[in-house]
Amino acid sequence: MPAPTQASLMKKSSQEPLQLTTRPHFLVLDGLRGVAALTVLIFHFMEIVVPDPSKSFITHGYLAVDFFFCLSGFVIAYAYDNRIGQLGSWAFFRLRLIRLHPLVVIGAVIGLICFVLDPFSKLYALKGPGKTALLFVSGSLMIPYPAVPERYHNLFHLNPPTWSLLWEYIANIVYALILYRISRKTLVGLTIVAAIALCITANAYGNVGVGWGIGNEYGGLPRVAGSFLLGMLVFRSGWRITNSLGFVPISILLLLAFLVPYRVGLNQFTEPFLVLVYFPFLIALGAGTQTNPFWDRLCNWLGDLSYPLYMVHYPFIWLFMSYLEARKPTAGQLWVLVPVLTVALIAFAQLIMAYVDTPIRRYLSGK
């Protein structure tokens, strides 16, 4: 496979376990991952503040998950296609568990604390310690347990983003058992089938924002399949668009996808286009550009922050929702509160990364 046009030997990778640190990676793609994670955070706040999706400026923020899946397919193929045969499937699974699962459990712990101590909600009293314990076990082991219909019947109430990690795990398992072995021709065929399935899903639900709760749980399969396979295809086909745009212009192009207006009757057409065409294009663009040392450092930080931020923010969204329901703050108060909470959650994710997740992964890696 061709070498990346923009790669730098980094001290640590934001996506791989700590012992797999010598392979170059794409810094702009790391930065884009961070931009997508920040988008998810803002999107989740706006879901509560502006429940009507047609009136929110960032309603398509949920497509960041599809970007994550596509980027994951690209990164996994790049990191493991030529190594997994020698490494072995079980070693691959262990490495991915070390990389991903500590934050799954950390997110469940934070979700449990917020659920039990929420001063504005009576949900814990309603569910009781037994059902709450099952919610925690469910979240920690990624076994769906949609036991809170009062709040949208999420598959994993304590930390709803866990649903996408479940599908990420499934994609990784299928990759290690099957996908890394298949030819490019077979990969193209599977990608076409998955893309058709995603279009059918979008038409059935009116959008692709599915997979997270009761009534749409199976929609996660075409979402992860279409995007993950496309990411693999971008890498294996050597689709790199050499350019001098750098991080900022490409990140703006990514943000534009999330700012596309939400229109009933059109989403089932615009969203598959963004997922199946636009996101792979952006990954090819990001893989073919270069940055200077300043942007390298920023992209590296954003990439490192992205997964912790994604996995620890939502319990505080529940607290925010409880506060809004109980206290009904004014629009002026929300204009102050949301930015302050956004910055606070970024700082919190940074602390979790530095003092909890990274030490745990070092320990599990034997370092």
List, for residues 122-162, the tens digit of each pLDDT value: 999 999 999 999 999 999 999 999 999 999 999 999 999 99
Taking Cα atoms as reference points, which of 73, 77, 89, 69 lies closest to residue 1? Answer: 77
Reduced DSSP (H G I as helix, E B as strand, rest coil) percent helix, strand, coil of the chain, to 5: 70, 0, 25
Structural domain boundaries in the chain: 27-358
Q: Low-confidence residues of the chain, pLDDT below 70?
A: 1-24, 367
What is the secondary structure of 209-277 as a DSSP string?
Answer: --SSBTTTGGGHHHHHHHHHHHHHHHHHTT-----S--HHHHHHHHHHHHTSPP-TTTHHHHHHHIIII
CA 365 to the chain's CA centroid: 23
- pLDDT at residue 64, as a whole number: 99
Measured at the CA of 308, the angle between CA 232 and CA 346, to 5 degrees, comes to 125
- pLDDT on residue 9: 31
Token representation of residue 174: 């299928």
Q: Which residues pair with 25 in a beta bridge?
A: 8
pLDDT of residue 23: 64
CB-facing half-sphere around the CA of 195: CA atoms within 13 A: 19
pTM higher than the cut 0.85: yes
**Cα 111 off chain centre by:** 18
Three-class DSSP category at 154:
strand
